[in-house]
Amino acid sequence: MALEDARKDIDTAFTRKGLKGLAFENAFAGATSFLRRTYTKDLTGVELAITGVPFDQAVTHRTGTRFGPRAIREASALQPFDPPYGWPSNPLEEMNIVDYGDLAFDYAHTPSFPGLLTGHIRTILSAGAGTVTLGGDHFITLPILRAYAEKYGPMAVIHFDAHSDLWADDDMDRIDHGTFFYKAVKTGVIDPSASVQIGIRTHCDDYLGVEYIDARTVHEKGVAHAVARAKAIVRDRPTYVTFDIDCLDPSCAPGTGTPVWGGLHSWQAAAALRDLAGINMVGGDIVEVSPAYDTTGATAIAGAHVAHELICLYHWARTRR
């Protein structure tokens, strides 16, 4: 830590000069933007926008992910002092990254939500920036992917989750976090032949041509096996990475709505995300952090680390591929 900066820096989310650099204000103080990035709606020159979507009206069990973006931002205050461990580059010093704030929506008018979110992401993409989104429940990925598919065509997706989210539901107006992947495939937003799911450990009747690597396979064959297979599937396609925190075992991330035993441990997720370096990642999200079910804050901390790794993957795809 730069001691002199720590003595004088405060609220760097608003007072920072420029969009790059580490941050040294006290982790327990100040405005908690993600990684202390500048809060702004000005996308001029921005390469990556972090945005929050505090929506949880699509959950099937425990609510609370509307508080996920806030908790993830707060947890991230521990991270901007140093370059990200295990990466040979530092996107905080090399990229123009901002915290674009949260999506505004009427919580009492759920039908309008998907279009608002697609438009929100479309605005960022049209400015030439990518997105890393802090959720929110996993339904949010569908409207996000619609905006990405408008720009890139059917997306390659790497999906970390305990659940396939492929429940059959042909009512495209129905909002449910367990059906987002099904609807994305059925409407051509996702290319199933170029997509893969990692960490699955719940039943699915039909994977619709999407390959899956269940949690037991990751445990028995190793992270390297899963990553190699994922890279072979997405190839050089524009790829979106979506990470449901319940991919992690509840011992690592209890603060989520639909926890399932037997999941990935945090070291496995960290290794997998870092070893995915080289994919053509164009955007990603971390979803289903529900902080009320975790008094330790460990789930939000894990979510903040996932989002930081997604930033590193995005940066790597633009500078080292």
- What would the pLDDT profile of 235-275 be if each residue is shown by its tens digit? 999 999 999 999 999 999 999 999 999 999 999 999 999 99
Q: Model confidence over 271-307: pLDDT tens digits?
A: 999 999 999 999 999 999 999 999 999 999 999 999 9
Three-state SS letters, the chain: CCHHHHHHCCCHHHHCCCCCCCCCCCCCCCCCCHHHCEECCCCCCCCEEEEEECCCCCCCCCCCHHHHHHHHHHHHHHCCCCCCCCCCCCHHHHCCEEEEEECCCCCCCHHHHHHHHHHHHHHHHHCCCEEEEEECCHHHHHHHHHHHHHHHCCEEEEEECCCCCCCCCCCCCCCCCCCHHHHHHHCCCECHHHCEEEEECCCCCCCCCCEEEEHHHHHHHCHHHHHHHHHHHHCCCCEEEEEEHHHECCCCCCCCCCCCCCCECHHHHHHHHHHCECECEEEEEEECCCHHHCCCCHHHHHHHHHHHHHHHHHHHHHHCC
Q: How long a stretch of residues is the chain?
A: 321
pTM of the model: 0.96
Q: Do the annotations mark residue 161 as ligand-binding?
A: yes
Among positive and negative, which fits the CA dihedral 284, 195, 140, 301?
A: negative
d(CA 131, CA 114): 17
From first to last of its 321 residues, the chain has per-residue pLDDT tens of 565 566 788 999 999 989 999 999 999 999 999 999 999 999 999 999 999 999 999 999 999 999 999 999 999 999 999 999 999 999 999 999 999 999 999 999 999 999 999 999 999 999 999 999 999 999 999 999 999 999 999 999 999 999 999 999 998 899 999 999 999 999 999 999 999 999 999 999 999 999 999 999 999 999 999 999 999 999 999 999 999 999 999 999 999 999 999 999 999 999 999 999 999 999 999 999 999 999 999 999 999 999 999 999 999 999 986
Q: Do the annotations mark residue 246 as ligand-binding?
A: yes
Could you tell me the CATH superfamily of domain 3-319? Ureohydrolase domain (3.40.800.10)
pLDDT for res 4: 58
Q: Do the annotations mark residue 42 as ligand-binding?
A: no
pLDDT for res 2: 61
Q: Do the annotations mark residue 249 as ligand-binding?
A: no
Q: Taking the domains of the chain in order of start, what are their residue ranges?
A: 3-319
Angle at 91 between CA 85 and CA 95, to 5 degrees: 175
d(CA 76, CA 160): 21
Q: Do the annotations mark residue 159 as ligand-binding?
A: no
Q: Do the annotations mark residue 109 as ligand-binding?
A: no
**What residues form DSSP beta bridges with 190?**
155
